[in-house]
Amino acid sequence: MAKSRTNKSNLFRVFEQTRQPCYLLDKDRNIVYCNKALADWVGHPMESVTTWQCNFHSRLPANAHPRTIDGGMPMGEMWTSGSSLSETDLIAAQLAPPPDVFFGSEQAFWVSRGMAGDAVSGHLEFRRAQASILGQDDELHVLVVVEPNASDRSNLVAAGELNRLDASDLHDALKLMSKEMFSIGECAVLIGTSAYSQRIRRQVQELQRTQGDVLIVGPVGSGRRRLAEVLQYANDVVGEKCLTTADLLIPVHADTCDPDTVQTTIRSLFADDGGAALPTMLLLEADRLSVASQIELREFFSLLNKRFRVLATAQQSLLDLARTSDFDLELAMRLSTFVVEIPPLSKRREDIPLLLQFVIEQSNATGRRQLSGVNKSAIHLLTDYHWPGELAELEQVIAEACLKSSGPNIIRADLPLRLVQAESAREHPVKPIEKIELTSFLIEIEKQIIERALQQAKGNKTQAASLLGISRGSLLRRLSQLGINDE
């Protein structure tokens, strides 16, 4: 043991003299040593850096978290901004080696700095690093040596097919996307490089500058409510502020919303007005409002002398619904001031590899068991799956796989059986039953038998008729009817 400590001390003295940033992590991902070059690079003193734990994730500096209203108001949860991760947590995450390393896999990877402190200005610097294993089991340590010069990774997200990237590259792609979305907010709906996800990000950026009503249309499980929360709170993603009436997002579920609930909810919006801005109503599943509730809500909107914001979710366009059913057109127009459409996940399959990495890293950020990502075979299976439950199903599948996985990556064996069965059904579809035309089938058989008899009788029709057990006249009639050439 004394010799081991002496060797470590000698090693540390060498690294103290080098200009390359270096640090040592224990098996629990805690930084137990760093040299001055690393401390200078991350902008924190060495004694502070050696208290950090490096979890493998790309979380934003601020996220929305739920708060619960007391007092029995019919509005359930409200959301405020703020993050459970400190700035040093976020900087430490940028130094985290892939979890494969702690399973004994020495490898090169990328570290970065700048997201927490410089995300607004858009600066994110990447450097190549090498992880080496020291010791084993309970004495395992990971030594990371960082190259002194920065490298450009800015084109990684736009590099094309995400399913060709490994987990480490997807991790860095998420860092770059997190930087891009710093002023928007964190939401799985916004993750991806497809034309759909890019369009939604642009819409969200524009809508965050307005106070107009927004309707979010998409399938159940597609993340409509989360997107509404991003629209409400993203203007406060940088830093925190005191909770005010205007910050409140009050959910109302259309399924349980009768006219009395509409009245109670809207009165509560004005209960603590005091001349200040009003809370925002989140109307969930607006396309399922009863006719009576639609009328009540429309009347309130027409009578109020002060406008308040409504964010609504629906499975289909309210304007289309108003043209074809009993949905109130005036209410549909009011709620559809701006419309954001979330496509089914099956239409944005190219986003799935990055979404998988995002969901895994959300779990990693809690500090629990760390995973690097999903291996290529499992990514292929997950990308081809039809996802009837949308993002909600994807998150559940990954949560189950994380619990089942025994290695640093999710593999096919960790995935639910139904996904494997769905793949088998796609690759081996049931053959359609061929339709049998009985009359045509029997005529064809009769022709073959008559031709065989003629062949055996060497063209003698009397003998052929005898072989067939019919008269010569009957044979001649059938030859004519069937169009058999007896020449």
- Do 414 and 375 contact (CB within 8 A), yes or no? no
Q: Which candidate, 448, 467, 449, places its Cα nearest to that of 457?
A: 467
CA distances from 452 to 194, 321, 347, 460 (A): 65, 67, 58, 12
What's the confidence (pLDDT) of residue 241? 45
Residue scoring higher pLDDT (11 or 245): 11
Please give the structure tokens belonging to residue 435. Answer: 């339709």
> Please, is 470 exposed, middle or buried when counting C-beta atoms within 10 Å of its C-beta (0-12, 13-18, 19+)?
middle
**DSSP string over 164-232:** GS-HHHHHHHHHHHHHHTTTT---GGG-SSSHHHHHHHHHHHHHTT----EEEE--TTSSHHHHHHHHH
Report pLDDT for 26: 94
Residue appearing with tokens 């290695």: 407
More confident position, 268 or 411: 411
Between 46 and 241, whose confidence is greater? 46
pTM: predicted TM-score of the whole model, two decimal places: 0.79
pLDDT band at 211 (very low <50, low <70, confident <90, very high): confident
- Residue 119 pLDDT > 60, yes or no? no
Give the pLDDT band of residue 29 (cuts 50, 70, 90): very high
Task: Give the pLDDT confidence score for residue 430 in this predicted structure.
Answer: 60
Neighbours of 225 (CB within 10 A): 17
Beta-bridged to residue 126, according to DSSP, are: 112, 151
pLDDT at 243 over 80: no
